[in-house]
Amino acid sequence: METLGRGATGAIVDLLQLGLQRAGWFEGEIDGIYGDVTSQAVINFQKFQDLPETGETSAETWEALQPWLTGSIRYLLQRGDTLWLLARRYGTSVAAIQAANPGVRPERLRIGQTLVIPLDFDIVPTNIRYSSDAVALIIAGLMERYPFFQRESIGQSIMGNNIDVLEIGNGRTEVFYNASHHANEWITTPILLKFFEAYAKAYMTNGKIGGYPARELYRQVRIAIAPLVNPDGVNLVTGALPQNAYYEFARMLSANYPSISFPDGWKANIRGVDLNLQYPAGWDEAQAIKFAQGFRTPGPRDFVGPAPLSEPESDAVYRYTRRHDFALTLSYHSQGRVIYWKYKDFLPAGSWEIAQIFSEMSGYAVEETPAESGNAGYKDWFIKEYDRPGYTFEVGLGINPLPLSQFDQIYEENEPVLALGTQTLSILKRI
């Protein structure tokens, strides 16, 4: 993590303020501005941690702050410790400690043994702008607190950021959800991460997620999510990308499209290729349409690239999909409160009926993809390649990037959909 000081702005400052707030040292509003309040909070935190009181957030300050970003600490057991006493001390529960430490038996604790102790807050934040660093910390925290998750890095972005997939469940049926193909639609990333955390909590407590028993879902279905397909582009939009050569390259590309605001209007990867126009389903048609619209060169959006799957991000998702047998996919975008369900004349069994159920649960309209955007998307390729239901959800309303003030409503509308998506085969059997 980069060293930050006064004058810094953007999503990394959001992340810093979040950690300080959780640790009890920052009482202001998270605004992504490293001013006097944030600097003093850093100094106070550094003093408490016996670190040099510089007011700058160096690598050692980030390291000390990490438990309040990942949501757990590593604790070395002392004489007299019990799980009940530790749960009381850290405001957690014995069940949460046991879930984070599978195989640990309360009656056989050993002095010097290291335990993961979950802290008393949800890991996935919904009040900050997202970045690749934030996602990496969230995933690390989820893996520690809920070790029944599996994590796989399926590739890397242009800038070398990991494209991670989280998986949960033991069932033979597999479903796949992805988010943030488009950079300024990053609000879709916390939707999937929050769903996974809510699911894990419901599983741990034998509760329900989206109205379905979590442990039953776990036995029946394996869910995979790729929450951040376009990490470099998201970093650019949220201010987490330093003003380095990549940033200057993107700004130069954007200058060729002066009607598109920079960086808010940026949808593409850092090389100026629209990742959701990269899949081998009508790519030539998409190229002709976008060229006719004037998108002939790399830029903020709608450039299809030199060839299908030319970009490492789209290629990683393509190859991951090819290695699996997904019964259904959901691709999360923004905005419009619309469900796109069809590709050309392909009509996978049950796809219309499932779309109608999704619509009833979310309140979103079911529509066909507009002709100018109806090719080369992930959903298009999945339907064509596998003849199975695939959907694009356009969440929220307004101009991208959508404000976080919409997040709670968006999540409430989509949690039941994400849970229902696991029931694809059961639905098809009833149709």
Closest CA to 68 of 50, 52, 91, 86: 91
Q: What is the pLDDT of residue 421?
A: 87
Average pLDDT over the chain, rounded to whole?
A: 95
Q: What is the arithmetic mean of pLDDT over 164-184?
A: 97
Fold of domain 134-232+311-430: Aminopeptidase (3.40.630)
All CATH 3.40.630.10 domain ranges in the chain, comma separated: 134-232+311-430
Q: How confident is the model at residue 407 (pLDDT cuts 50, 70, 90)?
A: very high
CA distance 401 to 412: 19
Tokens at 413, concatenated: 């509308």
pLDDT bin (cut points 50, 70, 90) of residue 293 is very high
Q: What is the pLDDT of residue 430?
A: 67
- State the span(s) of the chain assigned CATH 1.10.101.10: 11-68
Every domain of the chain with CATH number 3.10.350.10 lies at 72-118
The model's pLDDT over 207-264, given as tens digits with 9 standing for 90+, comes to 999 999 999 999 999 999 999 999 999 999 999 999 999 999 999 999 999 999 999 9
Is 123:142 a contact under the CB 8 Å cutoff? yes
| Confidence check: pLDDT of 423 > 90 | no
What pLDDT, on a 0 to 100 scale, did the predictor assign at position 16?
A: 98
Query: Residue 372 has what pLDDT?
Result: 80
- Report which residue type is found at 27: E
Provide, rounded to the nearest whole percent, the portion of the chain with pLDDT above 90: 93
**Can you give the pLDDT at residue 32?**
97
Given a cut of 90, is residue 373 above it in pLDDT? Answer: no
Candidates 242, 146, 124, 135; CA nearest to 180 is 135
Q: Over 90: is that where the pLDDT of 142 sits?
A: yes
The pTM of this model reads 0.96
Say how many residues make up the chain. 431
Q: How far is CA 27 from CA 240, 243, 375, in A?
A: 23, 29, 48
**CATH hierarchy code of domain 11-68:** 1.10.101.10
Domain 72-118 bears CATH identifier 3.40.50.12780: no
